[in-house]
Structure 1
Amino acid sequence: MPPQRAGIQSVEVGFGLLQVLAASAGPLMLRDLAAAAGMSAAKAHRYLVSFQRLELVTQDSGTTRYDLGPAALKLGLASLSRLDSVKLARQRLGPLMEQIGQTLALAVWGNQGPTIVHWEESPQAITVNLRLGDVMPLLSSATGLCFSAFMAPRNKAHNAPQNRLALLLKDELARMQKLARKDVPRSMAEVNTLLDEVRQRGLARVVDTLLPGVAGFCAPVFDADGHLALGIVALGSLATFDPDWDGPVARPLVQAARQLSSDLGFDAG
C-alpha cells in the first residue's frame, strides 16, 4: 500500500456535497443534499455557504434548491478539454475546416446536456450567439439530436447519463409542446422516429431549426468501449452551407468522425 499523505479532511468531506450535486438529475433541497452526502443539514449548510462564495454552488432564491455553479462549470470544461479524445479532435479541426469551409465545434456530454467545449470559426462564417460552455438543446440542434440518438442506444442497460438524458428529453419535449413548435418532434413517438433516422444515417442534421437561415450537422465519435466520446459539429449559413446528406459538408465530417473513432480504439464491427 502506498503511504498515506496528510491532507485536509474538511475539503474531502465537503467535496461529497459536490459529488452528490454532480450525480443528481437536478437541483436539490438542503435536506436531500445533506442526507445523500451523509451529513447533517446544519453541517452541509456551512459548506454550501463557502461553496457559494467560490461560485462552485448556486442557490435558487425562489425554490431555495442548490445546484452546481459557474466555477464548477469552468473546472469541468477545463478538465474535459484535456481529455485525449478532445485533444486529438482539436488537432484535426483545422484541416477539416479548410476542406469544408464551415465553422466547426466539439461537444461533449456535461451535467446539463451536450456542451460546447471547443469552437473554430470559419472566415466565411456567419455570426452566431454561441459560446464555450453553451449547452445545446436536444431537439432543435444537430448536436442535441446526435447525443440523444447515440447516448441511449436501444436494448442497452440504463446508466446515470442515460437516465439524465431521458429526463432532459422529457422536459424539453414538454417545453416545445407548450410553445406549439412545429419544426421539432411533438411527441415521444416522433422523437424516437427521428432518433432512429439519426442512428441509421450515422449523422444528425437540422435546417432552419436552431437558428433561422442556418444549417448544422453533428457526427458522433466513439471511444474504445463503444461509448459516445464527443460530437463534431459543422454549422453555417444556408447561403454557403450544403445541407445534403451526401454533400461536401456531410461526407468529410462523417469520414473525420469515423477516423477519429478508429484512432480512439473503436471497432465499428
Structure 2
Amino acid sequence: METTEVEDDLPPDGDAEDARTSRDRSGIQSIEVGTQLLVALTRAMRAMALGDLARAAGMHPSKAHRYLVSLQRVGAVSQDPLTGRYELGPFALRLGLASLNRSDAIVRTRPLLAGLRDQTGHTIGIAVWSDRGPTVVHWEKAGGAPGVNLRIGDVLPMLNSATGRLFGAYQPMEQTLPLVERELHERAGDDLPGLPRSLTDYYRLCEDVRTEGASWVTGSLLPGVNALSLPVFGARGQLVLVLIALNLQPLFHAQRGGELEHTLRTFVMRLSAMLQAPAESPPKAGGRRSKAAR
C-alpha cells in the first residue's frame, strides 16, 4: 500500500498530533549554536580572546570564529581592532535595552519623569539592574547642564556612582559581588577620594545607604557633577528601579534634609505605591458599545 508523506513522519505509536508538534518545535540549529557565544560574552561581562570565548561556549576556536564573523556582520558582536578581543556589539546592546524598556515598571514610570525634571530643574533618570550592572534606561535632561554627559544604555560603576551604591545596598549580594570585586581590582591604583578600597569598605558604605534610604555622590562619577539616587520598590518589596537626579555642582543643592531630597522622596514613595498596585486595564470596546446601546 502506498504511504503518504504524513504517514512516513508518524511516530511509532501513530500519533499524528505528536508528529506535527515535533515539526513545529524544530528550529535552526546554527542560530542556537551561535547564541552560545553571546551567552558566554554576557556571563563574562568583559571582552574575551577567541580561545577563551570558544572554551566558554563549548566549541572549537575555528568553529567559533566562523560564527563570530556572522555575528559581527549583524552587529551582535564587535571586535577590538587592537587587541582582537570580542565584545557584545551595538545590536546586542540595543536588543537588551529594548527588552528592559518593555518592563511594566519602566513603561509606567517613564511618562512621569519630565514633570519631575521641570519641578526640580535637574536632570532626572532611571536605572535598572541588568546582566551588565546598573543600566540607565531613560533620561530627561535639564537645560543648562552641558557637563552631564550620560546616555541611555550606559552602565554605571558600582563603587563611585550613587546608583551603583544603591544597587549594592538593595540588590542580592550574589548578583553585585562579581562586579564589585572586578572594579576593586581594576581601580586599585585610583586615588579618587571616597572610593572604597575593599569589600568591607564597600558593604559598610552600602549599609549606610540602606540606613538613609538614599545615596549621594559629589563629583565622584562625573567631575563637577553631584547626584542623588533613591530606590523604588515593587509589590514584593524588591528593588525594581532607581531614580536618579543630578546636575552641575553649583546648581545642585542636595544636602540631606533639604527641599530637593524631600521632593524626590515624596516622588519615589508615590511611584512605589503606584507600581505595587495593579495597572489599570483599558476599557473594553464591547463595554462601550453596550453602554451606548443603553
Tell me how far 1:248 sits from its aligned partner: 1.8
Q: How much has 1:25 moved relative to structure 2? A: 4.3
Change (3 A) 1:45 1:227: farther
Q: In the alignment, is residue 167 of structure 1 matched against residue 178 of structure 2?
A: yes
Q: Normalising by structure 1, report the TM-score.
A: 0.83
Shift of 1:22: 1.8
8 Å CA contact 2:148–2:247 kept in 1: the answer is no
Q: Which residue of 1 aligns with 2:272?
A: 261
The equivalent residue for 2:193 is 182
Q: Secondary structure at the match of 1:10?
A: helix
Q: Please, which of 150, 156, 163 is the counterpart of residue 143 of structure 1?
A: 163
Question: Which of 90, 110, 126 does residue 106 from structure 1 map onto?
Answer: 126
Aligned-partner SS, 1:249: helix
Contact 1:29 1:64 in 2 (8 A): yes
Give the % identical residues: 44
Contact map agreement 1:207 1:243 (CA 8 A) in 2? no
Once structures 1 and 2 are overlaid, which stretch shifts more, 97-106 or 182-191?
182-191
> Higher helix share goes to which structure?
2
User: For the Cα contact (< 8 Å) 2:123–2:142, is it kept in 1?
Assistant: yes
**TM-score normalised by the chain length of structure 2:** 0.77
Deviations 1:68-98 (A, max 9, x none): 1222111111221222111111111122223
User: How far is 1:219 from its partner?
Assistant: 1.1
CA spacing shift, 1:59–1:242, aligned 2, 3 Å: same
Q: Partner amino acid for 1:46?
A: R
Q: Which of 76, 87, 98 is residue 107 of structure 2 equivalent to?
A: 87
Indicate how the Cα distance of structure 1 residues 152 and 245 shifts in structure 2: closer, same or farther if over 3 A, else same.
Answer: farther
Q: 1:36 to 1:190 in 2, by over 3 A?
A: closer
Letter in 2 for 1:231: V
2:87 is aligned to 67
Q: CA deviation at 1:196?
A: 0.7
**Deviation of 1:35 (Å):** 4.4
- The count of residues paired between Structure 1 and Structure 2 equals 257
Deviations 1:86-120 (A, max 9, x none): 11111111222232221101112233321222110
Alignment gaps of 5+ in structure 1: none
Aligned residues of 1:28 and 1:65 also touching (Cα < 8 A): yes
Stretches of structure 2 lacking an aligned partner (at least 5 in a row): 1-17, 278-294
Taking the aligned partners of 1:25 and 1:175, their CA distance within structure 2 comes to 14
